[in-house]
Chains A and B, each alone.
Chain A
Amino acid sequence: MRRLPPRDVDAGLLIKDAARLLPNPSRRLFLRHTASLGALALLTGCDIVDGPSSEKALRVVSEFNDWVQARLFNPNRLAETYPESAITRPFPFNAYYPEDAAPDVDEDRFKLVVDGLVERKEPWTLEQLYALPQETQITRLICVEGWSAIGKWTGTRLSEFLRRIGADTTAKYVHFACAEGYSVSIDMPTALHAQTQMTFKFDDQILPTKFGFPMRIRMPTKLGFKNPKHVIGLAVLNNYTGGYWEDRGYNWFSGL
């Protein structure tokens, strides 16, 4: 159930223009509806407690929990960091597709598309991104499934990147689009958190395909599924865009 096949993983999809990449409200709404239909179809027992109407009511509470979590979030509080000896090896792979279906992003054709409430919308090449100031964190990734693992990630603070593109940091959300069709959106305070990173390296090596080459967003203050891999687009927005799992029922804020 939680490992659905990836949608349209093919090279042609990898370089897209911003218009196709970034969310448009009607497409989102459609997704929301198909997601609940999908959830309906997947229910085996179809009893009242597991039915779509109860999930709908529960999602109202989930939105209340988003509100509570945003208030609990302290922008100055850092997630615990660990020594090298604490790193989990081998680090687990986890996605909604099998490991061999992870998208192969062509680094020469890769461009990070930037859109929304930003002053500079020029796309970024990998070379340009690698030239940004980088730092390393050894933090714990906590999965929505319950397990956790400690890893070492190296990259640029997202706040630094947002500053360079002239992002409106009073906007509510930052939305990320991924090569294989995954998407996720986060709150601005988390986007500006000191440990929220545009990650280019894992364990001192260029980010391997399975962990999100060429770039993932690492946030030790959110659950693992909020840390998108293979990010090819970023938009600063004021409208809610949800995300792949969020549309299917996971709590949106999912802060730690």
Chain B
Amino acid sequence: MTETRHLERPAEASTAATGPADLPVHPLYVRITHWINALAVLIMIGSGWQIYNASPLFPFTFPNSITLGGWLAGGLLWHFAAMWLLVVNGLVYLTLGLVTGRFRERLLPIRPGEVARDLGAALMGRLRHDDLARYNAVQKLLYVGILLTGVVIVASGLALWKPVQLRELAVLFGGYEGARLVHFFAMVAIVLFLVLHVVMALLVPRSLRAMIRGR
């Protein structure tokens, strides 16, 4: 099995064999932007829940103990400060991911057959993570999905912030109220991803170490 992988990815296989000089699983820019993003996302979620509580879309509110800001104005201050961190850091990450070819190399192609096969294996607890630099089809799908969700939550957030100046963007989400719903459900998707992502990192601690030390 590993032999086949080496055949498929000769460049990395050969560098892996050379020892100390080999490429890290995650280059430095990925690790830095990952942890900045983690901080920004937690601030955006905590303050977003605070803002949600001021006028709940659904018949529930988030417990105050897990919201950020103390009250609506505090939540808004956090949200509209951390948005810069989220967006600037996200743009750096997306630009480098596209320019260096990392996205294409790591995340594509995604084949439905492989997704079904790997999902089955994952549910049976048989999916292996021998090579952290090689994502299985389920990982690829989820990572691409979360990147797109990130684009959607930022775009819908911009539509909510500037529904008049960015009216065309708001129209894309069905107007201001539509953008509120999209923004909320994108948050739900991100929270679900986050739970799964953290559980997986704890189940495969090497992956957490790779995101800190690079390998």
What residues of chain A have their CB less than 8 Å away from a CB belonging to chain B?
1-2, 42-45, 49-50, 55, 58-59, 61-62, 65, 72-74, 77-80, 140, 142-148, 220-221, 245, 248-251, 255-256
Contacts and interface: CB of A to CB of B under 8 A. Distances in A.
Interface in B160-182: 162-165, 167, 175-177, 180
28 contacts: A1-B72, A2-B71, A2-B72, A42-B70, A44-B70, A45-B70, A49-B68, A49-B69, A50-B68, A55-B77, A58-B78, A58-B81, A72-B165, A74-B165, A79-B164, A80-B167, A144-B76, A145-B72, A146-B51, A146-B52, A147-B55, A220-B164, A221-B164, A245-B73, A249-B74, A250-B73, A251-B76, A255-B164
Contact of B55 (A72, A80, A145): A145
B64 to A, nearest CB: 8
Given A61-B84, A145-B54, A146-B51, 14 more contacts: A1-B71, A50-B68, A58-B74, A58-B81, A79-B164, A80-B164, A80-B175, A142-B163, A144-B54, A145-B55, A249-B76, A251-B77, A255-B165, A256-B165
Nearest to A249: B73
A106 B167 CA distance: 40
A256 B76 contact: no
Contacts, number: 83
Interface residues of B, number: 27
Nearest to A256: B164
Contacts of A256: 162-165
A77 B164 contact: yes
Given A77-B165, A220-B164, A249-B77, A143 B55 contact: yes
A207 B81 CA distance: 37
A43 B70 CA distance: 7
Interface of B: 51-52, 54-55, 57, 68-74, 76-78, 80-81, 84, 162-165, 167, 175-177, 180
A245 B84 CA distance: 23
A126 B169 CA distance: 41
